[in-house]
Each structure stands twice: as C-alpha cells, then as structure tokens.
Structure 1
Amino acid sequence: MWWRLLLIGGLCGWPASVAWSQVTGGAPAGAYSQAPAVAADPNAAAVAGNASAPASSPAAAVASSAGGAAGGGTGFSNASKMVELPNDAGQIWKEYDLAPYTSRVTDTVKPEQAVVDWILRETGTEVWFSQPLGILSATPNKLRVYHTPEMHEVVRDIYYRFVNSQAETQVLSLRMVTVDSPNWRALAYSMMTPVTVQSPGVEAWLLTKESAALLTANLSKRTDYREHNSPNVLIHNGQTHTLTRKRPKNYVRSANGQGLVALSPQLELGQIEEGYTLQVSPLMSLDGKTIDAVIKCEIDQVEKLVPITIDIPSTLGQMQRVQIQIPQLVSWRLHERFRWPADEVLLLSCGVVASPGAEASNPLGIPNLLKNNPLTNTTPGRADALLFIESKGKASQALLDAQRQPIDSAPNYRGRY
C-alpha cells in the first residue's frame, strides 16, 4: 500500500518529494524546470489544493500560495516566475516622462491623475478592460502604457498637450449669472452661434469676445440680474477646478414622544445643502488655439417644506399632535464635454431651473416674503442660469489686477444679504 512505500522510503532515506511523486505519478516537487506542458492551463488555478500542480506555472504559484498560507508556509517566496505579456495585437510598452508637467503643479494632490482622466475621456474605458490587453498606469514621474501602436498615438497626443509649454497655468473666466426671465434671447440671438448639446434642456452658443462683453453689459443693467461668483480663476492645464456655493437648510424631519420633558416630544432635525457645485476641467490644444473642457454642474434647491401633522404617543400615554416637514427638492445636473476656439466665448444656458444662489431680496435687503406664498402661487428661486466661459491666456501673460479677488472668495451679493 502507499503508506508502506512512504514508510520504506523514509527509512531508506528517500527524499519525501521523490517518494510522493512516485506514489502520485507526478513530477518531484523540487523539479521547477521540469513542469509539464499541461501546467500552463489557466484553469489549473481553480484546483488550489491539488498537490500535483507544478510550482513553476502561474497556476501552481497560486496553488502553492493557498496551500502555504493555510499551513503556515511561505506562499510565493519559492514560486515566482517572469511572465511575458500577450501581444497578439502588436501591443508595445512605452513610458512617458511626466516630470515636466507634475513639477509645475504643486498645489494639487496626485496631479498625474488628470493625465489618466483625459486619456480615458479620449479613448473610452472599454479599450483598457477588454481585448486586446491594455495597461495604463501613472506615477508623479512616469506614465506607463501597454497597448497597440494606434492607441499609443492617441495617448501621445494627450501627453504632449500636458507637457507642452502651452500647458502652463491658464486664466479662465467662469462667470455664472442668472436672470429671472429668458427673454434676453430676443436681442442676443443674432450675435450667437448655436452649439450641439446632448444634455436635455441645455443650450450652448459661441460668441466673439466683443459680443460676449456687450451681452454681459446689457444683462447687468436688468433688475433681475445676479452674479454668483468671482469671474477669473487660475487653473493648471488639464486639472479640475471646483466652485461651490452651498448653504445648509434645516427642517423638522421626524418626532417621537421620548422628550426630556414628559409633555414635550423630541424633534429630530434634518439638514439639506442647497446651492450649486461647478467643476471645470480645461485642456488646451498644442497650438493653444482650441479648448477642450469637461463641465459638470449640480444645482440643488429646497423648493418648499411641506408641513405634515402627525400624532405621536407621549411618555404619559397620551397622544400629541406634532408638525414635521417634508422637503420638496428641485435639482438639475449637467455633465458634458465641449470643444471651441480659444478666441471665442462659450455660453451655456441651463434653462429656467432652480436658482443656484441665495434667495433674492428687495433693495432694502429684506427677503421677498411673497415667494413660496400659496396665495400668490409663486415659487422660490426660478431663474435662467447662464455660464460664460472664456480663456484669458497664460497666467504669465495675462494682465491681472494686483488686488484681484482670490479663487475661492465668497460671492459678491452687492449688499443684498
């Protein structure tokens, strides 16, 4: 029997691996160079407990690791092997130097991530997670790519747009304004060139810089005109800049009868952040004449708090009537990529949506009490939100005022709040 052969082998000084191999019919466990061809079967990794899987194959390495970990072994220490990457589609390995770009971006964590993001926007994600095999990895100093020569051409074009001298810090004007009525289009339509937009309800136009300045001046004369952010920001080429203007709104979410005072219920408060978040990621072309930009905007507003009266039991066993509030929300989302000439201005209109800013007030600074009044059938914060995006060129060449407001300064409400 097999145990007798093992016992005899041990008494005769046979190596345990040889004795086991002779019994099972497999190769000696120490013969790494004698792995049979069947060991290359990728399905062999599923039999992690099979001792006959040779340790020289990738499957055997997994099996050895699983068995070693269970028995307190050393895992992969004696089962490593160099594996060649498949190149059935002619894939090649290339490394790109990112230091000329990342060394300039000192105020952003992981600036190399922007390079990866823009490559994925240009190529799509599917080509990196399907056949043929592709690898995309970035460190602060290196961009490593393994793919077909055609894909390397796309990657190289994006890479040059980051490391080129044109890719230094850009001055971008982001001006978000609102007007209560969309009738401004009547006078401005002739000076605007429409742009195709995929997001429903969103319109886009191109204007010359002179026409944009004229339109802004005319809009600012309207009594319903409001500006919601400081216009000029500094953005490293390819990086994402975020503008956030939000404020908390509290409401009574729920109630129970376990208050500290026997006759008073305990109110549970909720909070909703209303306002807007605007993200812009611009990437200049090699010659600096074209801008690619991914724009993401989110607007959330509490349209009204619907009061609901509920009965809850108190600690004394009596029923109490308590009023809670159910928030009625209005939200709007935009996430799209645009490309336009750098010497023109991109204008986006979100339509009449929830106002991204605070509630309007009258000239005395008193909030409009007629808003959200069921007798007047009005709702708060409806406006046509407009976003002007204009390139002002490189930061080193732009003529900026010495006392210009910082990027993340508070919005200027002109004394209305």
Structure 2
Amino acid sequence: MLARRLALLAVAFAFAAAATVWGQTPTSDAAGAPPATWRSAADNPSVSGTNAEAVGAPSQATASDPAAPNGQATVGGQQASDPAGEGPRRPIAKVSTGTGQLPNEHGQVWREYDISPYTLRVASTARPEQAIVDWVLRETGYEVWHSEPLAILSANGRTFRVFHTPQMQEVVADVVDRFVSSEAQTHGFGLRVVTLSHPNWRARAQRLLQPVPVQTPGVQAWLLEKEDAAILLAELQRRSDYREHSSPHLLVNNGQSSVVSATRGREYVRDAVLRTDSWPGFEPQTAVVDEGFSLEFSPLLSVDGRVIDAAIKCEIDQVEKMVPVSLEVPTAVAPRQRTKIEVPQMSHFRFHERFRWPVEQVLLVGMGMVALPIPSDGQSLVPGLPLPLPSSAPRADLLVFVESKGGETGQEKRMTQTGRPEATTYRGRY
C-alpha cells in the first residue's frame, strides 16, 4: 500500500511540473528572433506528415506593413501588384503579326488618287478631303469597308488612298473625278428654306409639280422647270403666312456642305434637392433643353455636269410645353412646403435622304406640317407667325427649294463655303 501511494505521488508531481513548463511564454531558440514568433510544423522541414501549403499559419499579407506605401497589402514581404499600374495586359485572344502583306484573296488592288486640285481651292475648312470621304461612303455604303473583303479608305490633304476590289475602285474614281473636275470648280447651288402656315398651296401648284419618290413618311418631293419654280415662288411670296428662313442669295459650292440653322436653349427647373444649410431648405436644379431646326445640304455635280446628287438632312426639335410637377420639400420652419419642377414635352422631326435630278430642273421638298419652336417669352421664333393657343403646339409646312445656279459669277463668289458643315445661323428668322 505504501508503495502504491508513493507511485501516485510521483505521477502527480510529474504532471505538475509539465503544467508549469507548458504555461510559460514561448521563446525563440535563435538569437535576435522577436518574441511571440509562431512556430509550426511548416517551419521544420524535417517533420514528416505535413504539407507546407496547408498548415494553419497566419496569412502573410498584412495591410499595416510599414514597408507598404499608402497602406497597401504586402505578400511575402513584397508589395502586392496594382492592376492599374501594371504593364500591357496579356491578350486572351490569339494575336499574330500576319504575313506582312495585305490579303487580296478577292482581287483587291491599291490605288492613290490625287485630290489636290480640289483641296487646294477650298480654304474655308481645315479638312476639305472629308467631303470626298463622306460622298464615297454615301455612294458605296459603310458595310463594304468594314467586312469582307479587306478594305482600306484613307485621305489627307493631297492623296486619297483606297484598297478594294477593281469594281469598287471604279465607283471611288467616279466620285473623286466629280470633285476635281474643272466643271465642278465653279458650279454653285441655290437653297431656299420656306414655311407656310397651311399646305393649301398645293391645290394651285399641282399642275406644275412632277412627283419624286420619297422614303420618309409624310414627306413629298417634286421636280419643276425653272420657269415654273419662279412662278410658284412668286405666288407663295404674296401670301401673308410666307416666311423665308435662309438668305435669298445663299449659294453652296459643289461638293461642299452648308447648314441653315436656328436653335436656342430653353431653361427649366429639372429637380429640387433638399438643403438644410440654406434658405428655403432646398436648391432648385435647372437644365437647358435645345429647340430649333437645322437643315444640312450637300450637293455634288456629275462629271458631265448634267445631273445633280444632293443629300438633304433636316432635324427639328420643339418643346411643346412644360408639364409641371409639385414636389414636397418640408423643413423645420415650413413642414408643408412645396415647390414645382418641370418635365419637357418634346416633339422631334428627322429627315435624311438623297436625291438625284437633272441640272436644268428645280427640286422642291415638302417636309409636311412639322413643328415650329416658340420661345418661353411668348415671342415666335418665326417673325409674323401667329402665336397658337397655349394648349397647342405651332405647326407649319416646311418647303426646301434647290436650284442649280451654274458657273460662278462675280457676285456669286461671295457665297458661303463650308467643306465640312459650318452652321450658317439666321437668328430670329425661325
């Protein structure tokens, strides 16, 4: 019995000694190592049965590392890579340098056209060659340059470079010839933009009009002999509702574009934001909506001088009315305070078509009863046009006359020249 008791006491003393050792703070067995350093099986490669990548050691990335600038995370003592500061992203798609030659499986050929006879005589725009690019795209379409076969279209102030099939090169050559020919150098076109409050002029002029197909719904077009066009215009000018929105002497050079426009900004209250730091407790937010009209005219004469090609683009935006909306903007002083914002009720008209007709005739395009903008001060943008009732928006029959003026004379040299559309604004006329 005494022996068993002594054995139990020895075991108890052994457990007590072990507990004392386990409760002490761990120390490093390497000189200079900081206290409280974690030690694990991964630190000792000789320990078997461990996976260095799967042991439960703390993460090595710390956001508070003093070596990391601006609190950036570090991984393994190195700064984590910033995607914004990396070099070029490695592409996912397979990329090759090609064969070093332009593919021509469809028989494409390279051509360089000298366009300096046209670009040197146009001094009103920095890039007169853009007009040639625009007309080539009108003639060929956009898709043929962005699909099969491989194609290139490039231009500078002296050279027009094209890589395409021989058939497409013939189309491009015809367009370039129409710009650089001596016949086109002095040819001008007259443009008149007219509005009438009622379309009943058609009843008397029907016998003079030769219909022309138009794709846009609500729009009509006709051809007239020059003598008949002069008679019709004289009759329209005697009407009290006749208004002309372009200069009677506005002329456009062949191949160039002119824009007749009249626009204005109309300010309104779009929203109200609560502001407790200022009176009356909210801040109205204003915005501006543009209303008015813009008509772009781009003519081009054929090489033989007998046919006119013209692209006409018309855009009209009208604010029919401002729809009021009442908002609650309560404050401590005025808990039932309200304010009003506005929502514009807009009317839009868009027209963009191309016409071709003999040079000895006049083209007349009737846009239909389209919107006419009216400013917020109650004054019509069209002088003399009666103001409508507040419940209705003004409408008018918009007419466009296009006539070939032939060669340039001394008086016609004062015509507006705009290789790229440069707006000719007639303020107060529309």
TM over 0.5: yes
TM-aligned CA distance change 1:331 to 1:392, over 3 Å: same
| SS at 2:329 equivalent | strand
TM-aligned CA distance change 1:341 to 1:238, over 3 Å: same
CA distance in 2, matches of 1:337, 1:284: 13
Amino acid at match of 1:133: L
| Counterpart check, 1:408 vs 2:421 | no
In the alignment, which residue of structure 2 is the partner of 1:58?
A: 97
| Counterpart check, 1:206 vs 2:206 | no
CA distance in 2, matches of 1:403, 1:98: 22
- 1:292, distance to aligned residue in structure 2 (A): 0.5
CA distance in 1, matches of 2:156, 2:414: 36
**Does the 8 Å contact 2:261/2:425 carry over to 1?**
no
| Counterpart check, 1:251 vs 2:268 | yes
TM-score, normalised by the number of residues in structure 2: 0.70
Query: Residue 144 of structure 1: which of 161, 181, 204 is its match?
Result: 161
In the alignment, which residue of structure 1 is the partner of 2:11?
A: none
CA distance in 2, matches of 1:403, 1:285: 21
TM-aligned CA distance change 1:208 to 1:259, over 3 Å: farther
- 1:109, distance to aligned residue in structure 2 (A): 2.1
**Does the 8 Å contact 2:196/2:241 carry over to 1?**
yes
In the alignment, which residue of structure 2 is the partner of 1:54?
A: none
- 1:83, distance to aligned residue in structure 2 (A): 1.7
- 1:178, distance to aligned residue in structure 2 (A): 0.9
Moved more, 314-323 or 189-198: 314-323
Instruction: Give matches, 1:34-49, under 5 Å.
Output: 46=93
| SS at 2:233 equivalent | helix
Structure 1 regions of 5+ residues with no counterpart? 1-43, 49-56, 60-81
CA distance in 1, matches of 2:373, 2:405: 25
| Counterpart check, 1:132 vs 2:149 | yes
Amino acid at match of 2:211: P
| SS at 1:89 equivalent | coil
| SS at 1:159 equivalent | helix
| SS at 1:182 equivalent | coil
CA distance in 2, matches of 1:236, 1:400: 10
**Does the 8 Å contact 1:100/1:163 carry over to 2?**
yes
- 1:401, distance to aligned residue in structure 2 (A): 9.8
In the alignment, which residue of structure 1 is the partner of 2:254?
A: 237
**Does the 8 Å contact 1:92/1:148 carry over to 2?**
yes
| Counterpart check, 1:319 vs 2:358 | no
Amino acid at match of 2:288: Q
**Does the 8 Å contact 1:276/1:357 carry over to 2?**
no
Question: How many residues were matched structurally?
Answer: 333
The higher relative CO (CA closer than 8 Å, separation ≥ 6) is in: 2
Instruction: Give matches, 1:356-375, under 5 Å.
Output: 371-374=388-391
In the alignment, which residue of structure 1 is the partner of 2:195?
A: 178
CA distance in 2, matches of 1:344, 1:108: 30
In the alignment, which residue of structure 2 is the partner of 1:392?
A: 405
| SS at 1:222 equivalent | coil
TM-aligned CA distance change 1:84 to 1:261, over 3 Å: closer
Deviations 1:3-48 (A, max 9, x none): xxxxxxxxxxxxxxxxxxxxxxxxxxxxxxxxxxxxxxxxx99567
CA distance in 1, matches of 2:311, 2:331: 54
| SS at 2:255 equivalent | coil
CA distance in 2, matches of 1:181, 1:222: 10
In the alignment, which residue of structure 2 is the partner of 1:383?
A: 396
TM-aligned CA distance change 1:115 to 1:401, over 3 Å: closer
CA distance in 2, matches of 1:401, 1:116: 25
| SS at 1:313 equivalent | coil
Deviations 1:37-82 (A, max 9, x none): xxxxxxx99567xxxxxxxx726xxxxxxxxxxxxxxxxxxxxxx7
- 1:373, distance to aligned residue in structure 2 (A): 2.8
Amino acid at match of 2:357: W
Instruction: Give matches, 1:184-333, under 5 Å.
Output: 184-258=201-275, 261-263=278-280, 265-314=282-331, 316=333, 318-333=335-350
Q: In terms of Rg, which structure is larger?
A: 2
CA distance in 1, matches of 2:268, 2:320: 13
| SS at 1:215 equivalent | helix
- 1:279, distance to aligned residue in structure 2 (A): 0.8
- 1:261, distance to aligned residue in structure 2 (A): 4.9
**Does the 8 Å contact 1:230/1:412 carry over to 2?**
no
| SS at 1:183 equivalent | coil
TM-aligned CA distance change 1:187 to 1:401, over 3 Å: farther
In the alignment, which residue of structure 1 is the partner of 2:85?
A: none
CA distance in 2, matches of 1:136, 1:261: 59
**Does the 8 Å contact 1:263/1:315 carry over to 2?**
no
Deviations 1:66-103 (A, max 9, x none): xxxxxxxxxxxxxxxx7222222222111111111110
Instruction: Give matches, 1:97-176, under 5 Å.
Output: 97-176=114-193
TM-aligned CA distance change 1:260 to 1:385, over 3 Å: farther
**Does the 8 Å contact 2:110/2:161 carry over to 1?**
yes
CA distance in 1, matches of 2:186, 2:221: 26
Amino acid at match of 1:130: S
Amino acid at match of 1:326: V
Structure 2 regions of 5+ residues with no counterpart? 1-90
RMSD of the alignment, in Å? 3.1
- 1:263, distance to aligned residue in structure 2 (A): 3.2
TM-aligned CA distance change 1:362 to 1:229, over 3 Å: closer
TM-aligned CA distance change 1:384 to 1:362, over 3 Å: closer
**Does the 8 Å contact 1:239/1:282 carry over to 2?**
yes
TM-aligned CA distance change 1:403 to 1:204, over 3 Å: closer
TM-score, normalised by the number of residues in structure 1: 0.72
CA distance in 2, matches of 1:318, 1:306: 25
TM-aligned CA distance change 1:368 to 1:309, over 3 Å: farther
| Counterpart check, 1:350 vs 2:367 | yes
